[in-house]
Amino acid sequence: MTTPRKLKPVDAVIIGYGWTGAILAKTLTDAGLRVVALERGPARDTSPDFDYPRIADELRHGIRGELWQPLAAETVTVRHTVNDTAVPYRKYGSFVLGNGVGGAGVHWNGQLWRASPEDLGLRSHIEQRYGKHFVPPEMTIQDYPVSFAELEPHFDHFEKVCGVSGVAGNLRGTVQSVGNAFEGPRSDQFPTPALPAIYAAQLFEKASSELGYRSFPVPAANSSVAFTNPYGVRMGPCNLCGYCERFGCFLYSKASPQTTILPILADRSNLEVRTNAYVTRILKDSAGTRATGVVYIDENGQELQQPADLVVLSAFQMHNVRLLLLSGIGTPYDPVTGKGVLGKNYAYQMFGVTTAFFDEEVQINPFIGAGAAGLRAIDDFNSDHYDHTKQGFVGGAMIYAGGTGGRPIEQMLLPPNTPRWGRAWKAAVHKHYRHSAPITLMGTVMSYRDRYLSLDPTYTDKFGIPLLRITFDWHDNEYRMAAYTAAKMEEIVRQMKPESQATLLLKPGNHYDVRIYQSTHTTGGAIMGTNPSNSVINRYSQSWDLPNLFVYGASAFPQNIGYNPTGLLAGLAYFSADKLKTSYLKSPAPLVSS
């Protein structure tokens, strides 16, 4: 390619216009900066892209993935161990990647959790409670360099931006009689009341209460009433439409950048959003001490250079790491020597599901309910909410009841002995579709010395640029955690008194399987920490290497939590945005001395 044409410099360039890109676009344009946001995918908005009833199309959105990143152009490669040859993730399965304005924030489920206080200071907490040797040597977990108390105002703000529905379990330190008793203290109630429980969740609620657990509404970024957020953006209430996860919301109810932040940015003269702009590298000055802008390929295939004083990297977790690797920023992690930090501590989430099959009198109606809406959960076995002394593992899982939709192609729940085809299958879909309910565990995954991200030596994207390579498989700690929490989950399901029940769970010997959708909650690779030797960014999401580069998203998580990550990553972004506003923009410099 020829030398990229140099465009007019701007104050800041944002790479990726999803949740954190939108948050930073607001912060920076509020401060008067001239900002360009580069989004690899197309422009998208509620209308016409998610218009009713065309959005209600499982094949187009749920299966073919209209809103997802087209893998043909770029994917990742996967291998289980350091010694294997990675092969491409050719078809969607294990996780789905966002694309376009709003990113995965368009087609997420909307479960909006905060991390537990214990999750943030994880290593210190575990070592203090169970002793220095409780954490096995291959486990490379570390504390987040920021506390729950510091993040709380930002969690609270983001929940208000999203019109989250829920009920507080701990208000200013007082554990309430409702809500999640295990959550960290909140400064305020949820902005909108909890949505009523769907039927599967009601049965779960009753069963768990009989067993002595207190279930509570899953915090849902689906407003339950018409609501105006702190930016003056109004949202509509959720009607449990069933088209949430993998879909854009036609009701303006599910929080997405489009329904919460972008409306106030639309007319800002100091913000320009360029879509179909594929960033290929971040540029550094000759001394390698500052970012000077980015290079991207526009929709006509032309390579352009956008100089900027400040670079905000706010793409999806994997893309953040890939771009840092491609740009030569920081030292790539070496799993053999343990040196380098870029790509380190890739983690995922542990998944398990018990399906309750009821008789035909029990009307589960799986198509009612959406994403996070109407779900109920228990948090007793998540994080370090229970004594691990005798468990021999770190972490846990949140257990929630109710499906994310009743989409018949993908979400048909049938007993495991059902034939996959023929007359018996046809009879089974009739018998079970309306009368089955999934109870799911979403479990923590710790980080390990041999689980990491790097550039693939062989495979490239459509421009010939190396793909990101994932080296990942499960460790015993996670199998043990899953077995323990799944037993609790199965006990509750038994109490729900279904006709039968079946559990899908990973056991030792089951390798990471990319064919089955599990979770898009991939984390790490550009983790945050206290110093350049243990992290890529500091507590304010600022790069240790280039102080005018900030990196946002779940790539910052040193290990993964047992919750959906959006609440935490948005909290970290607002925490950083606040520091930018009060300090960095006034005098750009390293915000933590290294």
Partner 1 sequence: MNGKNLLRLAGVAIAGLAVAMAISYLGDKAAGENVSFTPERNADLIDRGAYLAKLGDCAACHSIPGRPAFSGGLKMGTPIGAIYSTNITPDATHGIGRFTFADFDRALRYGVADGHSLYPAMPFTSYYNTKPEDVRALYAYFRYAVAPANIPNRVSAIPFPLSMRWPLTYWRWLFAASPAPFTTPPGLDRAQAQGAYFVDGLGHCGECHTPRNVFMQLKAVRRTDGAHYLGGAVIESYFAPSLRTEGAGSLRDWSEIELTQFLQTGANSRGIAFGSMSDVIIHSTQYMSEADATATAHYLKSLESKDQSDASFTYDPNSHKALKSGDASAEGARIYLDNCAACHRPDGRGYERVFPALAGNAVVEATSPESVVSIIFQGSATPRTSQTPAQFTMPGFAWRLSDFEVMQVANFVRSSWGNRGPRVTLKDVERLRPGPG
Partner 2 sequence: MAAVSRLIPTEGAGPGAIEAGVSEFIDRQMELPYGHGSFFYLRGPFHPESPATLGYQLRYTPREIYRLGIEDTNAAARKIHGMDFARLEAAHQDRMLESIEKGLLELPTVPASTLFAQLLENTREGYFSDPIYGGNRDMVAWRWIGFPGARADFTDWIDQAGTEYPYGPVSIRGTKA
Q: What element of type H or E holds 10?
A: strand 10-15
Q: Does 183 bind partner 2 (CB under 8 A)?
A: no
Q: Does 80 bind partner 2 (CB under 8 A)?
A: yes
Stretch that binds partner 1, among 27-35, 93-101, 225-233, 460-468 (CB under 8 A): 225-233
Closest approach of partner 1 to the CB of residue 263, in Å: 4
Which C-beta is closer to partner 2: that of 42 or that of 93? 93
Q: What element of type H or E holds 130?
A: helix 122-130
d(CA 223, CA 238): 6
Closest approach of partner 1 to the CB of residue 240, in Å: 10
Residue pair 500/354 in contact by the 8 Å Cβ criterion: no
d(CA 552, CA 541): 6
Token pair, residue 372, equals 């996070």
Q: Does 468 bind partner 2 (CB under 8 A)?
A: no
d(CA 269, CA 585): 19
Token pair, residue 327, equals 């740009």
The tally of CA atoms less than 13 A away on the side-chain side of residue 216 is: 24
Closest approach of partner 2 to the CB of residue 433, in Å: 4
d(CA 106, CA 371): 12
Stretch that binds partner 1, among 44-52, 74-82, 541-549, 562-570 (CB under 8 A): 44-52
Closest approach of partner 2 to the CB of residue 218, in Å: 15
d(CA 313, CA 552): 6
DSSP 511: P
* Residue 478: φ, ψ to 5°: -75, -40
d(CA 574, CA 570): 6
Fill in the per-residue mask, 495 to 524: x = in contact with partner 2 (CB under 8 A), - = not in contact: ----------------xxxxx---------
Residue 134 interacting entry, from partner 2, partner 1, none, C-beta within 5 to 8 Å by type: none
Q: Does 460 bind partner 2 (CB under 8 A)?
A: yes
Catalytic residue among 385, 388, 435, 521: 521
d(CA 560, CA 396): 11
Q: Does 250 bind partner 1 (CB under 8 A)?
A: yes
From candidates 422, 509, 582, 587, binder to partner 2 by CB under 8 A: 422
* Residue 141: φ, ψ to 5°: -70, 155
Which C-beta is closer to partner 1: that of 117 or that of 191? 191
d(CA 559, CA 121): 11
Which residues make beta-bridge pairs with 305? 6, 295
* Residue 439: φ, ψ to 5°: -115, 130
Q: Does 263 bind partner 2 (CB under 8 A)?
A: no
Stretch that binds partner 1, among 150-158, 251-259, 373-381, 405-413 (CB under 8 A): 251-259
Stretch that binds partner 1, among 154-162, 250-258, 328-336, 365-373 (CB under 8 A): 250-258
* Residue 174: φ, ψ to 5°: -95, 120
Q: Does 47 bind partner 1 (CB under 8 A)?
A: yes
Number of shown-chain residues binding partner 1 (CB under 8 A): 25
Question: Is position 521 annotated as part of the catalytic site?
Answer: yes
Which of 552, 201, 527, 181 has the alpha carbon at shortest distance from 383? 181
Q: Does 53 bind partner 2 (CB under 8 A)?
A: yes
Q: Does 375 bind partner 2 (CB under 8 A)?
A: no
Q: Does 276 bind partner 2 (CB under 8 A)?
A: no
Token pair, residue 72, equals 């043909």
Stretch that binds partner 1, among 245-253, 313-321, 351-359, 428-436 (CB under 8 A): 245-253
Which of 472, 440, 476, 467 has the alpha carbon at shortest distance from 562? 440
Q: Does 371 bind partner 1 (CB under 8 A)?
A: no
Q: Does 423 bind partner 2 (CB under 8 A)?
A: yes
d(CA 43, CA 182): 40
d(CA 320, CA 524): 10
Q: Does 366 bind partner 1 (CB under 8 A)?
A: no
Closest approach of partner 2 to the CB of residue 29, in Å: 35
Residue pair 345/216 in contact by the 8 Å Cβ criterion: no
Fill in the per-residue mask, 324 to 363: x = in contact with partner 2 (CB under 8 A), - = not in contact: --------------------------------------xx
Which C-beta is closer to partner 1: that of 224 or that of 576? 224
Which C-beta is closer to partner 2: that of 155 or that of 348? 348
Q: Does 269 bind partner 1 (CB under 8 A)?
A: no
From candidates 147, 239, 275, 495, binder to partner 1 by CB under 8 A: 239
Residue 594 interacting entry, from partner 2, partner 1, none, C-beta within 5 to 8 Å by type: none
d(CA 175, CA 153): 18
The CA-atom distances, in angstroms, between 455 and each of 75, 283, 468 are: 12, 18, 5
Residue type, 413: L
Binding site for partner 1 (CB under 8 A): 46-48, 51-54, 225-226, 231-237, 239, 241, 250-252, 259, 263-264, 266
Binding site for partner 2 (CB under 8 A): 52-59, 63-65, 70-72, 74-75, 78-80, 85, 87-91, 93, 195-199, 202, 239-243, 250, 362-363, 365, 367-369, 374, 406, 408-409, 412, 420-423, 425-427, 429-430, 433-434, 458-460, 511-515
Residue positions annotated with a catalytic role: 521
